[in-house]
Structure 1
Amino acid sequence: KDLVIKAGGFSPIYKGNAYRFETELSYRVRRLNYKIVYDPGAIILHRRASHGGARVDVYSWNYWFVRNHILFVLRNLEGRVGKVAFFMFKQIIRILMRKRMCPYAEPERWHEVLYMVLKGVCSGIIDYIVQRDDAVLRFKDLLFSARIKDVELEEGIEVKDKKRDIAVK
């Protein structure tokens, strides 16, 4: 419990099917130099929610899957613009080949899957940009791959978290 709190807990930014919420927590735990191990004897009592998770339709599932993945990549990984572009390319190929992504349902309207994937990409990028007070810097970094050091020098902004390259006024 203490480690989960130290790592910042589960982020409420991941919604819908909550895809990637556990990945981000695991990633933050690893950044604190802890190891994550598999325990085959572990038992987890899962509290069921009345909505969300696997209860969304196949089209909504694709939207939340893409939106949450884009958010995770933009919030945590190096080379994020390239990774987002590659992810998008893979999703479009998957849709054109009519390969199922939702683990429990097969879509009938593939054009709607494409629409929901594109909507998820846009939503993920927008949510990443506006999620914090440093939205302008996030947008600038995302578009121009500006390093925080350059922004700090140009605009006189103090860097609060050098590990994650997050600048705040």
Structure 2
Amino acid sequence: MTTTVPGGPDAAELPFFVYGTLLPGEPNHDLFLRGRTAGERPAVLPRALLYEGPGYPYAIEGHGRVHGTLLIAAHGVYGELLGLLDHLEEFLGPGHPRNLYERVVREVELPARSTARPTAEAGEAGEPGESVRAWVYLAATAVTRSLRTGGVLIPEGRWSTGRAAGGA
């Protein structure tokens, strides 16, 4: 299910799914997320494709999977974090013509535990192997159209600048 109603009933302090420069080890992680998350864990966005952008990626609806991280906001900073991420992602409101991304609610899959230990406790945002609802920033309509006609697809839905080891 996808919805873009930021103030609607689906908006009650959902976690965030990130897949680009907000990933651990990437440039915007420390700038925007340090001290503002209570947990971070690997996750996968189903039914989506990942495309190259100008220094950052775009996810769009599609027949694939995008690998990233599920973020749980720290207590008391949800509104601040939501505002910071909306500003970073150039989200001005649902369907706004100048949006770079749309913020939507999507089901995100939590992979079964591996040898890597996540920083969030399992109960904070679902159990391994389950799906949870999360905010995801998908490319806005005009950007999506452009990517579908001439964009560069990122194989396997894993983005990295190369600065971070294992930054998926």
TM-score, normalised relative to structure 1: 0.25
Q: Greater helix share, 1 or 2? A: 1
TM-score, normalised relative to structure 2: 0.25
Q: Greater strand share, 1 or 2? A: 2
